[in-house]
Every structure is written in C-alpha cells, then in structure tokens.
Structure 1
Amino acid sequence: MKKAVFIILILSSFWSYSQKKVLQAQPISQYITIDGKLDETAWENAPIATDFIMFEPDNGKPITEGKKTEIKVLYNNDAIYIGAMMYDDEPNKILKEISQRDNFGTADIFGVFINGFNDGQQNFEFFVSAADVQGDCIMTDAIGEDYSWDAVWISKAKLTDKGWIVEIKIPYAALRFSGENKQTWGINFFREVKRERKKYTWSLIDTKIGTFTQQNGDLVGIENIKPPTRLFFMPYASYYLNAADGQKTYGTLKGGMDIKYGITDAFTLDAILIPDFGQTKYDDQILNLGPFEQQFNENRAFFTEGTDLFNKGNMFYSRRIGGKPSVDPDLNDNEEIIDNVQNVNLINALKVSGRTKNGLGIGVLNAITEKTFATIKDTISGETRKVIVEPLTNYNVLVLDQRFRKNSSVTFINTNVTRNGEFRDANVTGLAWDLNTKANTYNLSGNIKHSIINDTEDKNGTFATVGFAETSGKYRYSVGGDFVTKDFDPNDLGINFYTNYYNFYGNANYRILNPTKLFNSFRINYNMYAEFNKESGKVQDNSINANLNLTTVKNNYYGLGFTFFPLESNDYYEPRAENRYVIIPRKFEAWASVSTNYNHKFAIDLNPSISIADQSGRMAYGADIGPRYRFSNKLLLTYTFSYFRKNNNKGYIDSVDADDNESTPEIIVFANRNVITYSNTLGGKYAINSAMTINLAVRQYWSYAENKDILELQQNGTLTPYPQYTDNKNSSFYSWNADLSYSWWFAPGSQVSVLYRNSAANFERVIDKQFKDNVTGLLNNDALKHIFSISVKYFIDYNAVKNKLRKRA
C-alpha cells in the first residue's frame, strides 16, 4: 500500500510539472509605488505563482519549503507590475554584492521572462539582484542571452527577516505584443540562490530538450490594452580634454542624439544622428606576427544592442564600419605619411529590426562613413599633398529570417559595401539554415555564401558548410564539413581568413544531466579534424582532441585537455605568397584550467598550457594566473598575470627579389625566433550604491620576437639557412592602457559618465629586455596620451512627455 501511494505521489508530481503552468494577471486602477514593500491592497488578492522547480544543477527537483517563492502580476493601461517574495530560511546568508548594471557579481537574482506574442521565439528578460542591481537581455535559443539590449523600467529590491522582495514596473513600451483585446503572453520566473549555485524557474525548463524559450508558462487575463507609441529620444553632450607630452592641450565639445522608434508592434528603428564613441573600452592590442589582422571585440553600443539577426551566417563584422581605411596611399621617392588616419569617422547609422507574428524576422542596417584623407610630405622639398584613403562609403546589411515550428529557421543574408568613385565595391549573399526535429533531438545546420568583389580585378568566391548533430541526452555527437574556394572574400563587411580548402570534423561527447555525489556538472569531449588544400590536396591542418570539463559539488571548476597533430601539415598562409607553403611539424598540446568558486571572498583562476613540436627545441609554454578578492559587497579587485614563450618559432619576416629575372620567384625570408609575451591586467570596482560605481581597468602588455637564425623558404615547404639577409627584423611591441571611470544612473535610462584615460603604445626593432625600462620608458615618453571626458545622456519617453503635457492642460 505504501509503495502504491509513493508511486501515485511521484506520478502526480511529474504530471503537475509537465503541464503548462498558467497565471492570471490582476487588473488595477490604484497607483503602485515601486518601493519593494508590496503593501498596496492590489497585491493582496492577486493570484500567486509558486511551486518553483530547479533548472540547474539538479534539473526537475522541486524547490524546498525554506526557499519558497511567490510571484504576483498586476497590470493597468501603462505597464505590467511584478511582485516577488523570495523566502529564505537563512536570510543573513543571502549574497548581495553591488555591481554594475547587467553584471550581478556574487548576488542572489530574481528574473521575469516575457514573450508578448507567446510564440516561443524570443524572451525579453528582466533581472533584479538582492543588491538592487538591474539587468536585462533578449533571449533566443539560436543566440542565447544578449545583454547588450537595454530597456527602461523601474525596480526595487529589499531584504527582510524572511528573505527578500522585488517589485518591478515594466512599461509596455519596453515589450512587444499584439494589438488584440485579449492577450496571452508567454511568461516564466527565475530565481538563483547564489550561495548554493542553484537556479530555479516557475515553469520547468527541461535541460534534456535543448530549448529554453519554448518552455514558458502562460500569463492570461490581460485585456483591452494597446501597444503604446514606442518613441524614445536620447540626447547627449560630451566634453573631451586631450593632452600629451610635447603637444598642445585642447578640449572638444560634442553633442548629438540617438532615436528609437517603434514602427509597428514588432519592428523598431534605431538611429544615430551624430555618433560619439569616445568612451568605449580600449582595444587589447597585441604584437601580431601572423599573416592576418587582429580581430577586435565590438564595444560600441549601437553595433551590439539587439543585433542577433545581423549575426546570422557569421557574415557581419561591425568593426569594419568606422575601422581602418581600405586604401594604402602610394608614396613617391622621398615621401612619408605625416598624418595617417587610424579610423574613419562614422557620419550616421540606422537599423530596423523585428519579427512578425508569423515568425519572419527582418533586419536592415545601414551606415555611412566620411571621405577621408592622409597627408603626405616630400622630405626634400617640404611640400605636402592629401590623398584619399577612404572615399564616402555606404555599408548595408539585409537579413530575412523565417522561423517555423518554434525551433527552426531559414535565413537569407546580404551584405553590401559601396564606395564612391573608382574604389573597391563588395557584395556577399548567403543562405543559412538551422533545422531541429520537433522534439529538439537532432539538428541540421549550415550555410552557403557567395562573394562578388568589383575592383581593379573582379573576383567571385563561395563558402559552404553543413553539420549534423544529436542534441539531446547524455551521449551526443556531431559531424560536418566546410568547402571554401580561393577567391571567397567577405572582408569588406565581414571577417574570414582561411580560404581555398575543404575539411571534415566530428565530435562525440558525454555529459551528466543531474548532479552526482561528486559533481554538479561533468562533460567529456572527443574531437577529430582534417583540412586539405583544395588545389593541391595537401594536408593543411589535422588534429585529435580530448578534453574534460567538470564542476564539483563545491562549485569549483576544473578542465583538462590535450590535442595531438599526428601528421605534418602545410601552412599556405604564413608565406604570404600565392601557391607557397611552409611545412608545420607534428606536435602535441596540453592545457589545464582551474577556477575556484567566486562565492568565496578569495578566488583564483589558473590556465597553464604547453606545446611540443617534433622538431629540435621547438616548443611553447605559458600560463595565466588570476587571483581576485572581494573585500566587501562594494569593493572587488581582480588581477591577471600572463606569460607565454615560444622557443624556436619559425615565422615570416620579409620577401626579397631573387634577381632581375621575372620568372624566378621571390625569396620568402623566415626567421627562427624566440617570442616572449608578458601582460598584467588589473581590474577594480567600488560601488557607492546600486546606481553609482567607480571602475578601474589597467592593462600593461609587452611582447618581443628575437630572431636567431635567418631562413629561406624552399619550394617544397622546407626552410634552409639564408645568412646573406642582414636586415634587423626583430620586433618589440609594448602598450599601456589605464581607465578610471565613474558611472551614475541618475534616472531610468539616463547616465552620467566621467572617464580619465591614459594610454601609450610603441613598436621598435631594438629589443631592451629590461622589463622595468620598457614600462617606465613608455610612461615617460611623448607617446603617453591623457584624455579626460564627461558624458551626459538623458532618456526621454514620448509617452511620458505627452502624459505630463495632458495633465498640465
């Protein structure tokens, strides 16, 4: 009898968790004060969402009575209101580190996920931490959580002797929903108990299924509301004071405005009328000895916020817009560049994006950069002239993304760059697909892209990839391959380095889906890869890899992996000449990683690695070590030291003419060199309160390559001594960046930013191996630049202004 009762209880529990949950929203007429108290009478009779279920690590386990969570939802003509009570049987242990917006640090979190169309395609997610810090993002299964998206809403969190409370007001202008009289929204609620590293949701998110946005519950009862006019203005004013040793100090005042307009219920127009990116994060520049440019992260909010559509097919690299000029000026004898532009100015930019109720996502992005000149001087006569290095240029991206069955999509993408006059134009068109079975157990993905370049010599190229994967269960696998022609070139508005090859790859992995006595997570991966030059059929790359990643029950992370390259490969890129290659020997690589639990005041990250080649003395090794200490809920300091060394590295340094006979190929000069890199990074945060923080970011970097032997690349890919080459091609690059900033969110969507930055960089052929001399020399020479800036932006909601004017009338 007891056994039967137990089985009935288990089945009834499973039945309740597997059914779609429904919550009734309560209409109100009274004013709600967002103070974290929930003391208005409207909260008393509202229906309650409870019975939360664990998302991670023990997926499907009910929340304990001591962590009971109760949520209520109200609404009126202007906004939806969420009241949340998070009970905690040990309230004095609630973690509540104060951090910057969208970065919760070590703190408990509450969140609400809303899908106004209830179509399983996209959630608008709003979070509040126990320290009263806001965060928000857009969530799609294809891209994940995009925290670059920012909305304007109001919240307040308060701790009590029973746990903590959150009260939220989300204006309808921050959401997307239809104009129907009766609304049914997709909704879910989230809670993380940080000290236990446990995450819970109201509607079960089954991790075996492999989808997130399709497992919401339903919010019903919202009636007779209308989508508001979504028109927002964000005027800004900035002042920059620039100084450098030996140069005149000058100030610059800038002003402009960003506009966001809801064209329809689903589509939004974003526009920059006068861009100002002066306070964006600095780039972590490196000594780049390879054949390809360094790829940088995008730090400009306009090009990161809500750009999930534009990232389909990996065809859009936004740093091309306003990046380096596309033309290198031709110099006559005795001429030099005295004013070379590093970045082209952006005149304006706009984007339109959204998705219809039938699942068609449409994205259009357009930007224009100005005509740009470099100044060239004749060193004998002193005369100067200006040369165009970038004409007036238009950048355009078009995306049509059709989703169906809530978990699959087919996407058309086109990128186009049109330059004024007789300059290079480029057009790339792609078709991408991401197809999943109804049960989300198998996936077929891929894309095909075609580039057309109109230049002094026109060229066309094609890139195609396809992959198949099992995406559910403990055991999973994937297989696939790529095919790329020689003239595929998306680099005017995208980024792609490797061409003229085909490859095959495979992966098999095992993971635990629920915790064990030892591990909260555990995963083993096995990977194989083979790549061949399309024309010669030679092996360009090959590897066998195995790695292990796990998290212990004490929430410490450990990783370990090795890669074996069993065959010699042929590098067609390092020689930087057509149809030339250098042989890369067989090698073995190994790495390890440790990251202790950030819940503790002191934590540390450690990442050592080693690579040993099948060639005398050729190896590489290094490590990153990063301690961090949280002095209080307000003060956090982090530090990372990195050291990496390559011994007997072989790399390109120059090309020289063999003789006057044009049929004789040029001599490709390599060097046998040691490459040593040091970097020190210091980060700090002091939070005055949840709206006001002081932040520190310092990076010192030094890397040098010391050539020991000069080598000539032979036609068969081998290297032989070439002592007659005597030019000094040693390289030493060192840089310094330091940012000290103050940020104050003084009103919803409105911010004051104060930044002091000093930075310097220098490249030399003479190597001074005294670390202290390099750093102090860099900080004491004319290269050090100082910038002090103040920026104020203010958020204006058309609806709020209209309502105030009506009340005054």
Structure 2
Amino acid sequence: MKKCYFFCFLLFSTLMYSQKKSLQTKFITEKISLDGKLDEAIWQSVPVATDFVMFQPDNGKVIPENKRTEVRVLYDNEAIYIGALMYDDEPNKILRELNKRDDFGAADFFGVFVNGYNDGQQNFEFFVNAADGQADCLATDSNGEDYSWDAVWDSKAVITSFGWVVEMRIPYSALRFSSESKQTWGVNFFREIRRDRQKYSWNLIDNKIGTFTQQNGTVDGIENIKTPTRLFFLPYASFYTYANADQKTYGELKGGLDIKYGINDAFTLDAMLIPDFGQTKYDDRILNLSPFEQQFNENRAFFTEGTDLFSKGNLFYSRRIGGPPSYSPETKTNEEIVENPTTVDLYNATKISGRTKGGLGIGYLNAVTQKTYATIKDTISKETRRVLVQPLTNYNVLVFDQRFHKNSSASLINTNVTRDGSFRDGNVTALVWDLNTAKNTYNLSGNFEYSYVNDIESKKDGINTTLNFAETSGKYRYNFGGNLVTKDFDNNDLGIIFETNYYSFNGFTSYRILNPTKLFNSFNTNVNGYAQFQKETGKVQDDQINWNVNTTTKKNHYIGFGLEYRPVETYNYYEPRTEGRYSIDPTRFGSWFSISTNYNNKFAFDFNPSFAVLNETKRTTFSFYLSPRYRFNDHLALNYEFNFFRQNNNKGFVDSSSKNDALAPNTIIYANRNVVNYTNNINGKYSLNSKMNFNLSARYYWSYTENKDFYKLEDNGRLTAYDSYTDNKDQNLITWNLDLSYNWWFAPGSQLTLLYRSNAAKYDNLITKDFGNNYTSVLNNEDLSHVISISVKYFIDYNQIKNVF
C-alpha cells in the first residue's frame, strides 16, 4: 500500500510539474480601481492561478497552505489587470523596506512575467513589493534581467490582516505581441517571501533546466482587442547652476523632447530630440596603467532601455556616441590648448525595435553628433585658432534576430560609423548564433565578425570568431570552446575590443546541488581553464586554471572561495605599446575568499580578501573589500564600501623612445613599482514613500604608482637594469564625486529630480602619503566644481489629450 501511495505521489508530481499550466482570462468593460482591495465583482468571475511551487531554495516544493497565493487576470482594450492575494500567517512579519524604483530592498515582492509571443525567449517582467514600490525589466536567457528598461504602468500594494494584496494595470504599450485576433501569451507569476528567502512561481521553473524564460504557463482568452494608438511624448526641462573654485557662477536652461510611437503592436519608434544627460551618474574614473582604455558603464537611459537586440554579438559600446572626441589637437611651437571638450554633443538619436509574428526581431539605432572644436592659443601673439577634433558623425546599428524552436536564435548585426570629410570610417558585420536542443540540455553558440576600416591613409579588415559547446542542464555541467581574432580586427568605432591577433581555448565544468542539504541552501563548485596564444608565433599570451566554490548557508549567508594558478610564463604583446615587442610575465598563484551576510538583517556586511604571489622576488598582489551596511528602519539605510588594492614590485611600461632618438633609439623602459589604490564609497537613501526618495552617492578615490627602479626591455622579453633613466614617472590621481538627489515620481512615467553634485580630480607625479591631506587637497583643488540642477519630465499619452484638440 505504501509503495502504491508513493508511486501515485510521484506520478502526480511528474504530471503537475512537467505540464504547463493554463489560466483563462476575461474581457471587461467596467472600470477597475487600483486600490489594492479587489472588491469589484468581476474579479470573482474568472479562474484563479494557485498551487505555487518553490523555485529557490527547495525547487519543486509546494507552497504551504498558510502562505498560498491566488492570482486573477482581466483585460480590456487598453491593458491587462492582475489581482494577487498573498496569504501570510504572520502579516506583521512581512518585510516592507521602502526603496527607489527597480530596487527591491528587504521587502516581499510579487511579479508577473509576460511573453506576448509565447516563444519562450523573452519576458517582460513587472514587480510590486510589499512597500508599494515598482520594478520592471526585460529578461532573456542569454542576457539575464535588464532593469535599465522602464515601462509606464500602475500598481497598488496593501498590507492586510491575512497577508497582502497587489493590483496591477499593465497597458499594452508596455508589452509586445502579434496582431492576431486570438492571443495566447506565455505568463508566469512569481512571489518572494523575503524573511525566509523563499521564491515561488505559479508554473514550475525547474532548476535542472538551464533556462528561465521557457518555463512559463499560458494565459488564454485574450481575443479581438482593439489596442489604442501607442504615441507618447516625454517633454523635459532642466535648469543648471554651475560654480567652480573661482566662485564664478552661471546658469543654463535646457529643454527637449523624447517621443515613443507604436508603429504597430510589435514595433516601436523611440526618438530623442535635444538630449540632456546632465543628471547622468558620474563615471568611476581610475588611474589606468594598462595599455587599454578604461571602459565605462552606460548610464544614459536612452542607450540602456530596451536595447537587448542591440547587445547581440557584443558589438555595440554605446559610450562611443557622445563620448570623447576621436582626434587630439596638435600644437605648434609656442602654442597651448586652452579649450578641449571632453564629450561630443548629440543632435538626435532614434531607435526602432520589435519582433514579427514569425519571430524575426528587427532593431535599428541611429545617432548624429555635432562638429566639435578645440581652441589653441599662441602664447606670444595671444591669437587663438579652432581645430576640428570631431567631425559631424553618423552612428548606425542594424540587427536582424530570428528566433526559432522557442529556444534558439540566429542574428545578423551591422554597425557603421561615418565621419564627414577626410576622416576614418568603420564598419563591422557579424553573424551570431545560439542553438539549443529541444530539451534544453545542450547548447552550441558562437559568432563570426568581420570589420572594415577606411582610414585617412590606409584600409584594413579583420575577423573575430568564436565557437562554444555546453551541457546546460542537470547537476553536472560543462562547456568548451575557442576564439580567433586576427591582427587587423577593429570594432572600436562603435564597439570596444582590447586584445587582437590571438587564438584561445577555454573549458569549464561544474557541479551544483538542486535542492537544499543539511548545511547549504545552495552549493556550486566549478573548475575552468583558459589558454591564449599569439597568432603568428604561437607563444602563450595567457594561461590560467581556476577552482571556485560558492555556497549559501541555511541562514542565507553567502560564503565562497577560490584558487587560481598561472602555471607557465606568458608573453605579453600589449604592455610594451610597440608592435612586435613583448615582455614576459612570471607564473602566478592566488586565492580569494568572500562572505556576504544576509541582507535581511538590519546590519550586514560583505568581506572579500584576495592575494597572489608571482614568481619574482617580492612580487605580490593583495586586496580586500569591506562593505558594512545598516538599515535603520524601512525608510533609512546606509552602505559604506572600502576597497584596498596593492601590487608590490609590479613591472610595467613607463616610457619609450623613437627610432630617431640619438641616445637610445627604439628603447622601451619599464619600472619596478608599487601600485596602491584606495576607494571609499558611501551610499545612502531615505525614502519618504514609494514615490519620493533622497539618495546619496559619494566616492573618494586615491591611487598612486611609485617607481623604484627602471629597466630596459630587451628583444627577448626580459628586463635589464637601466640606471641612466632618471625621469619622474610616478603617478598620483585623486578624485572626488558627490551626488545628493531628491526624486519624486509624481505621476506614472513623470519625474521631478533635484540634484546637487560636486566633483574634482587632481593628477600629478608628486606623491604625498597622507590620506587626510590628500582628501583636503582635492577638495581645495581649483578644478572643484558644484552643480545644482532641477529637472522635470512629464509623460503624456496621446490618447488622454487627443480630445482636447
């Protein structure tokens, strides 16, 4: 009898979890009031989505009856409506920290995932937390969840005597779907009980399968909807007051307009006219000793929102648009540069994106930047002249992405930069594929990229191609692959690449638990290896073997550690900054450890020390990261971050001479140096409610490199003493950034922001090892500037104003 019962239970579980759930919805004509009460009678006339199962940590476990979740869906010609009841036997323990948009904080949340094509490849995800805050994102298996995407929708969350309630209104303008009269959408509902760190979904998300978006249920019954015109305007106005260390103060008024137009139910046009990026988050500038440029995050909303198509192939680095000028001004004798812009202004930017019923995604992005000049002054005659450092430039990205079998895709991408006049133009075309077996157990991915550059005096082309094979399901997983980049591959006009002229091989294997054990809620260990070779000579440029362990304890503390080993010397063809030359890097052994305590606690911290020992006399590297955080209450929280990094007896490039140097032609000079970095960050927030937030972000960064001995780089890659070199090549960089802002979402899609910003940077070759004195000196620096700005953006729906006209 027991065996029979056990067999029936297994059969029931298999049927329950292997089949996609379906929920019926209903068209309504009456108005739904978003008050978190669900007291309209129509809510009781539709079926209920219930029987949620755990996603993490105990995958597949049925939600307890006293924490059951019930969800209903309605729709009209403008939007879908979701009503959710989250039962909780201890509603006074529901976590409800207030936070800014897209930040869950320590709070329970409910989410709905919508795939209008039901093709298993992309979810539009909308979340509401127990503090009535909102978050939304685009989710794909290849790129994860992108919270830079923001939609305009309404919601209300209310704590009750039995738990909490959410009502949501998601307009069709926030979704993408085909124009068929009868719709079947992929849908899933998600709930996290934060105090227990337990996540549940309506349709099981089986963690044995390496995919998230393909495990939705469906919503049926959406028929003959007459969607309204999707035309939205976002006018904005900003006023800036600037002051520098000389107390020179002036004001500037800016204004502009963003337009969003639904070409049809699937495709959308976004246009930005007269952009204003003055309130964009500051860049975390560092002392960059590498031969490569520093890569910055994109913080401008237009270039982050809904750009999943444009990220295909990793060819698009949006900071090229409106970034530093492409050319540096050249001076003559007795001339100096008195004005050299650090950024280039945009005239406009436009993007079109969407997907057809057959799964073909099309993305088009275009931006035009202005002519930009530097000003040069003759120190004797005092006359000035202007030099063109950035011509009128057109940037263009075109993407065709075909999805098939609900889990695979192939993409064709082209990026093009055309500069007016006799300046460099660049073009890159790529084929990218991501292929999965029917049961999502194996994956074959890769790309083939071709670049063509037409420079003023030369033309060049190159290839970058990769191929990877992986097992993506179960406890044991692995992948292996390779990469080839030719010498003249160059996508830097609209992309970014650091290393070329090599081929490489990589391998990875891992083991994970799928359900909790007595010690761990989650456990993962992996071993991976990588080897890179210079294409012409076959010399090893990089080699490493890593072993890592990542765990979450039963009390939801994260603990991880790892070992890394570079077993042979490598040939560095990039550090000498001269074609054909290389230096030799020694073998290396290192380790790291990390702990992150449960953020549910009022006090929590992150701690991450690491070290490495290189096979050279006293050459070591060590660092540690410490970040305590404290949540005073549901309104106020502070987080401090301290990051220390030190390299002892590091060897690196400091100077070189030309072939015409009479004393030392073609000499490359390295230094034996100590490199030290200190980074201090303070982040804080005070939330008045879910719509009003004060936010603090401050960063003090100090880094220096202190040279002790100098060497000459020999042709065999070894270093020999070069005592005759006496130039001071020490470097010292101190930066200060402070942002204090007030944000008020006073209406859906509409925002008022008041920002105070101060920043300064001090760079020289004089090192003062006095932390306090350096901090004071940068604040007293003549480059210290202050900005106070107020910006108002107002969302206008054409359907709400058309009757006025």
TM-score bracket for the superposition, by shorter chain length: over 0.9
Counterpart of 2:579 in structure 1 is 578
In 1, Cα distance between the equivalents of 2:747 and 2:306? 22
On the 8 A contact 1:154/1:168 being kept in 2, the answer is yes
Counterpart of 1:795 in structure 2 is 795
Tell me the alpha carbon deviations over residues 347-389 of structure 1, each in whole angstroms, 9 at most, x when there is no partner.
Answer: 1100011111111111111001100000111222222111000
Deviation at 1:139, TM superposition (A): 1.6
Secondary structure of residue in 2 paired with 1:537:
coil
In 1, Cα distance between the equivalents of 2:57 and 2:24? 29
In 2, Cα distance between the equivalents of 1:577 and 1:493? 24
Alignment of 1:601-620 (within 5 A): 601-620=602-621
Tell me the alpha carbon deviations over residues 65-106 of structure 1, each in whole angstroms, 9 at most, x when there is no partner.
Answer: 111000111222222111100000111111100011111111
Find out whether 1:249 has 2:249 as its counterpart: yes
Counterpart of 2:488 in structure 1 is 487
Query: Identity of counterpart residues, as a percentage?
Result: 64
Tell me the alpha carbon deviations over residues 419-446 of structure 1, each in whole angstroms, 9 at most, x when there is no partner.
Answer: 0000011111111111111111011111
Secondary structure of residue in 1 paired with 2:751:
strand
Counterpart of 1:128 in structure 2 is 128
Counterpart of 1:368 in structure 2 is 368
Deviation at 1:119, TM superposition (A): 2.1
Alignment of 1:140-289 (within 5 A): 140-289=140-289
On the 8 A contact 2:77/2:227 being kept in 1, the answer is no
Counterpart of 2:754 in structure 1 is 754
In 2, Cα distance between the equivalents of 1:545 and 1:614? 18
On the 8 A contact 2:541/2:573 being kept in 1, the answer is yes
Specify the code of the residue in structure 1 equivalent to 2:224: N
In 1, Cα distance between the equivalents of 2:673 and 2:21? 64
In 1, Cα distance between the equivalents of 2:148 and 2:656? 44
- Higher alpha-carbon deviation: 348-357 or 14-23: 14-23
Find out whether 1:554 has 2:536 as its counterpart: no
In 2, Cα distance between the equivalents of 1:517 and 1:264? 53
Deviation at 1:508, TM superposition (A): 1.0
Counterpart of 1:499 in structure 2 is 500
- Higher alpha-carbon deviation: 356-365 or 175-184: 175-184
Secondary structure of residue in 2 paired with 1:510:
strand
Deviation at 1:775, TM superposition (A): 0.6
Deviation at 1:6, TM superposition (A): 3.5
Specify the code of the residue in structure 1 equivalent to 2:796: I
Deviation at 1:31, TM superposition (A): 1.6
On the 8 A contact 1:178/1:227 being kept in 2, the answer is no
Counterpart of 1:684 in structure 2 is 684
On the 8 A contact 1:178/1:265 being kept in 2, the answer is yes
In 2, Cα distance between the equivalents of 1:605 and 1:233? 43
Counterpart of 2:291 in structure 1 is 291
Specify the code of the residue in structure 2 equivalent to 1:220: D
In 2, Cα distance between the equivalents of 1:726 and 1:377? 32
In 2, Cα distance between the equivalents of 1:142 and 1:504? 21
Counterpart of 1:23 in structure 2 is 23
In 1, Cα distance between the equivalents of 2:19 and 2:543? 48
Tell me the alpha carbon deviations over residues 519-538 of structure 1, each in whole angstroms, 9 at most, x when there is no partner.
Answer: 11111111111111111211
On the 8 A contact 2:242/2:788 being kept in 1, the answer is yes
In 2, Cα distance between the equivalents of 1:502 and 1:2? 60
In 1, Cα distance between the equivalents of 2:658 and 2:427? 35
Over 3 Å counting, the alpha-carbon distance change for 1:660 and 1:783 in structure 2 is: closer
On the 8 A contact 1:355/1:361 being kept in 2, the answer is yes
On the 8 A contact 1:235/1:255 being kept in 2, the answer is yes
Deviation at 1:228, TM superposition (A): 2.2
Over 3 Å counting, the alpha-carbon distance change for 1:540 and 1:48 in structure 2 is: same
- Higher alpha-carbon deviation: 363-372 or 718-727: 718-727
In 2, Cα distance between the equivalents of 1:657 and 1:613? 32
Counterpart of 1:529 in structure 2 is 530
Deviation at 1:707, TM superposition (A): 0.7
Secondary structure of residue in 1 paired with 2:89:
coil
Deviation at 1:602, TM superposition (A): 0.5
Tell me the alpha carbon deviations over residues 157-185 of structure 1, each in whole angstroms, 9 at most, x when there is no partner.
Answer: 00011100001111222222233332222
In 2, Cα distance between the equivalents of 1:538 and 1:115? 48
On the 8 A contact 2:756/2:788 being kept in 1, the answer is yes
Specify the code of the residue in structure 2 equivalent to 1:51: D
Tell me the alpha carbon deviations over residues 14-63 of structure 1, each in whole angstroms, 9 at most, x when there is no partner.
Answer: 31232221111122222211000111111222211100011111111111
On the 8 A contact 1:110/1:192 being kept in 2, the answer is yes
Deviation at 1:641, TM superposition (A): 0.9
In 2, Cα distance between the equivalents of 1:713 and 1:370? 43
Secondary structure of residue in 1 paired with 2:688:
strand
On the 8 A contact 2:178/2:356 being kept in 1, the answer is no
Specify the code of the residue in structure 1 equivalent to 2:609: P
Tell me the alpha carbon deviations over residues 566-606 of structure 1, each in whole angstroms, 9 at most, x when there is no partner.
Answer: 10111110100011111101111111111000010000000
Specify the code of the residue in structure 2 equivalent to 1:640: E
Alignment of 1:649-668 (within 5 A): 649-657=650-658, 666-668=666-668
In 1, Cα distance between the equivalents of 2:658 and 2:352? 52
In 1, Cα distance between the equivalents of 2:147 and 2:6? 44
Deviation at 1:724, TM superposition (A): 1.4
Deviation at 1:767, TM superposition (A): 0.9
On the 8 A contact 1:619/1:648 being kept in 2, the answer is yes
Alignment of 1:28-47 (within 5 A): 28-47=28-47
On the 8 A contact 2:352/2:363 being kept in 1, the answer is yes
Secondary structure of residue in 2 paired with 1:689:
coil
Over 3 Å counting, the alpha-carbon distance change for 1:192 and 1:660 in structure 2 is: closer
On the 8 A contact 2:657/2:665 being kept in 1, the answer is no
Secondary structure of residue in 2 paired with 1:200:
strand
Specify the code of the residue in structure 2 equivalent to 1:204: L
Counterpart of 1:74 in structure 2 is 74
Secondary structure of residue in 1 paired with 2:777:
helix
Secondary structure of residue in 2 paired with 1:319:
helix
Please, what TM-score do these two structures have when normalized by structure 1? 0.98
In 2, Cα distance between the equivalents of 1:180 and 1:434? 28
On the 8 A contact 1:177/1:227 being kept in 2, the answer is no
Count of residue correspondences: 804
Specify the code of the residue in structure 2 equivalent to 1:150: D
Flag structure 2 segments of 5+ consecutive residues without an equivalent: none
Deviation at 1:658, TM superposition (A): 6.1
Q: CA-atom RMSD, angstroms?
A: 1.3
On the 8 A contact 1:257/1:272 being kept in 2, the answer is yes
In 2, Cα distance between the equivalents of 1:670 and 1:334? 31
Please, what TM-score do these two structures have when normalized by structure 2? 0.98
Tell me the alpha carbon deviations over residues 407-462 of structure 1, each in whole angstroms, 9 at most, x when there is no partner.
Answer: 11111111111000000111111111111111110111111111111112211111
Deviation at 1:660, TM superposition (A): 5.5
In 1, Cα distance between the equivalents of 2:660 and 2:370? 43
Counterpart of 1:387 in structure 2 is 387
In 1, Cα distance between the equivalents of 2:735 and 2:161? 51
Flag structure 1 segments of 5+ consecutive residues without an equivalent: none
Counterpart of 1:541 in structure 2 is 542
On the 8 A contact 1:179/1:226 being kept in 2, the answer is no
Deviation at 1:665, TM superposition (A): 5.1
